[in-house]
């Protein structure tokens, strides 16, 4: 690892330390190495225990077991799709209802889970747009309106 990388990491740990201290999460008597060597490990461990509980039970547990904003930030740092969260060789489990299970609809190739999710979201958006255009055309027909710029290229069967 180069000297530039070491300097960048040191700067980031000091920024994290300053932010955590400003929020009252780190005692003022501690320095940035405490954040790196103790505080971060404890926060990460607590978050991973909640994730493990979620995977074991399928529920979030009580309020003390629900993922907080801090937990979500920790998972973002760790990358929600990483083996540290899901284990090796296992299908990822969603952390919340809004995360799509990509493994069931994965396409061939070596796409990352993020790329697969983005692709599925784009396909869903296209379907929603097409559906809206069909509904608009149906409304135009029922009201006796001419085709609009949004529906003129649809191959609709205008005979009812």
Q: How many whole angstroms from its chain centre is CA 157?
A: 41
CB-based contact 93:52 (threshold 8 Å): no
Convert the pLDDT of each residue in 103-137 to its tens digit. 344 444 556 777 778 888 888 888 888 888 888 88
Convert the pLDDT of each residue in 55-89 to its tens digit. 776 665 555 667 888 888 888 777 755 555 555 44
Query: For the CA atoms of 117, 121, 127, 131, what is the dihedral angle to 10 degrees?
Result: 150
In the chain, where the domains are located? 1-99, 100-160
Distance (Å, whole) CA 19 – CA 17: 5
Q: Is the pTM of this model over 0.75?
A: no
Rg (alpha carbons) of the chain, rounded to whole number = 25
């Amino acid at each position: 690892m180069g000297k530039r990388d070491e300097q960048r990491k040191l700067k980031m740990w000091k920024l994290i330390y300053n932010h955590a201290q400003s929020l009252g999460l780190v005692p003022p008597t501690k320095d940035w190495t405490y954040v790196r060597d103790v505080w971060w490990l404890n926060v990460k461990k607590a978050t991973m225990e909640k994730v493990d509980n979620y995977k074991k039970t399928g529920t979030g547990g009580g309020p003390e077991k629900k993922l907080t904003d801090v937990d979500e930030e920790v998972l973002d740092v760790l990358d929600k799709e990483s083996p540290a969260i899901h284990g090796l060789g296992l299908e990822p489990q969603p952390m919340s209802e809004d995360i799509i299970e990509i493994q069931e609809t994965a396409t061939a190739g070596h796409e990352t889970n993020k790329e697969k999710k983005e692709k599925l979201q784009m396909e869903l958006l296209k379907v929603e747009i097409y559906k809206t255009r069909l509904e608009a055309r149906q409304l135009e027909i029922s009201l006796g309106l001419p085709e609009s710029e949004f529906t003129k290229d649809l191959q609709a069967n205008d005979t009812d």
